[in-house]
Amino acid sequence: MNLLLTLNLDLMLQALPVLFLVAVATWLISLAIDDVSIVDYIWSLLSLAAASTYAYHAGIDTSHSYVSLAMLVMVAIWALRLTYFLMKRGRNQPEDRRYQVIRKRNSPNFGLKSFYLIFIFQGLIAWIISSIFVPVFDAGSSAETAMSWTLWHSAGVALWLFGLIFESVSDNQLHAFNQKIVPESKTLNTGLWRYSRHPNYFGEFCIWWAWFIFAIPTASAWIIVAPLVMTFLLMKFSGVGNMENGITTRRPDYQAYIDSTNTFFPWKPRAKVGGNL
């Protein structure tokens, strides 16, 4: 069997209308509150909606599909945790600086343009990367096809748990730091942020590669797409590259942080750094 043909496209297409409706509803809310930052709140929920749709339409046998159930639980915990944190962080805050730049660049009529530039775009990306879930749920659709638990699954769960904890701790450290009354130029360089300038993104990176490991027993070549896309997004597109664009102008002490601290993968600082956390 050609591994490239093992993706159930009929199952995957079931999620498209669901993601479209979520994107449209969120877009309408953004028009009402004049803030497109809320698209961040649904990012992980789009993946959860897709995974739930696949699980429903595959009709997984809950008495045999322990692998499928584990995948759904992991996606749900990750998505709900991330959405809760982003909502807590964004409460009573103005529109994110990144979206302010996009708004200025695409005015006038940004409200209409944001529909496809931001909301539909994120929905499509979420749909593409949700392809990693399809082989898992497809394989667990009946007792005859359900996979037995293997070391690959255990390794995937272990790496997922590590990534979830790493991302959660770093998110909370940064949020607590930002709640303090500190000069705007101050940079967090303690805790997990001592070893990586973007430990939360590293945690997210681990989560997606954990799901790749978890899905290896499906023997589907399509499972490599999601972690590769997410790695690109985190390191080059919307993650590290976007966050650090022009940051040394806004935060004069950030250059010293760059000089002493790894960009993405945690490692021992190249120079002693201090801080208050």
Query: Measuring CA to CA, which residue among 66, 224, 86 is closest to residue 157?
Result: 66
Determine, yes or no, domain membership for 15.
yes
Say how far apart CA 72 and CA 88 lie, in whole Å.
24
Could you give the number of structural domains in the chain? 2
Residues 26-41 have pLDDT tens digits of: 999 999 999 999 999 9
Report the pLDDT value the prediction gives residue 3, as an integer from 0 to 100: 45
Residue 154 and residue 251 share a domain: yes
pLDDT for res 238:
75
Picking from 146, 167, 196, the residue at the C-terminal end of a domain is 146
Q: Which of 90, 125, 146 is the last residue of a domain?
A: 146
Per-residue pLDDT tens over the stretch 59-70: 776 655 789 999
Q: Is 68 helix (H, G, I), strand (E, B) or coil?
A: helix
Residue 99: give the domain boundaries.
9-146
pTM of the model: 0.90
Tell me how crowded residue 237 is: count the other CB atoms within 10 A of its CB: 12
Q: Check residue 186 and give its pLDDT.
A: 81
Instruction: Assess if residue 3 is contained within a domain.
Output: no
Q: ∠184-241-156 over CA atoms, to 5°?
A: 110
pLDDT of residue 1: 40
pLDDT value at position 254?
A: 87
In a domain, residue 28? The reply is yes
CA–CA distance, 152 with 147 (Å, rounded to integer): 12
Residues contacting 234, CB < 8 A, separation 6+: 198, 201, 204, 205, 240, 264
Confirm if 203 and 229 have CB atoms less than 8 A apart: no
Would 182 be classed as within a structural domain? yes
Q: pLDDT at position 179, please?
A: 86
CA distances from 54 to 21, 26, 42, 140, 218 (A): 16, 22, 18, 11, 15
pLDDT of amino acid 185: 58
* Dist. CA 87–CA 71, nearest whole Å: 24
CA distance 204 to 162: 10
At how many degrees (to 10) do helices 16-33 and 39-58 cross?
160
190, 226 in Cβ contact below 8 A?
Answer: no
| 102 plus 159 within the same structural domain | no
Sort 234 into a burial class: Cβ within 10 Å, 0-12 / 13-18 / 19+.
Answer: buried
Q: What's the first-to-final CA gap in the chain, in angstroms?
A: 54
Helices (H), 91-198: 97-105, 110-114, 121-129, 134-139, 151-179
67/45 same-domain check = yes
Each residue's pLDDT expressed in tens, for the chain with a length of 277 residues: 444 445 788 899 999 999 999 999 999 999 999 999 999 999 999 999 999 999 999 877 665 578 999 999 999 999 999 999 999 998 888 888 889 989 999 989 999 999 999 999 999 999 999 999 999 998 866 555 567 899 999 999 999 999 999 999 999 999 999 888 565 558 898 999 999 999 999 999 999 999 999 999 998 999 999 999 999 999 987 778 777 777 777 777 888 898 999 999 999 998 655 444 3
Cβ(234)–Cβ(240) below 8 Å: yes
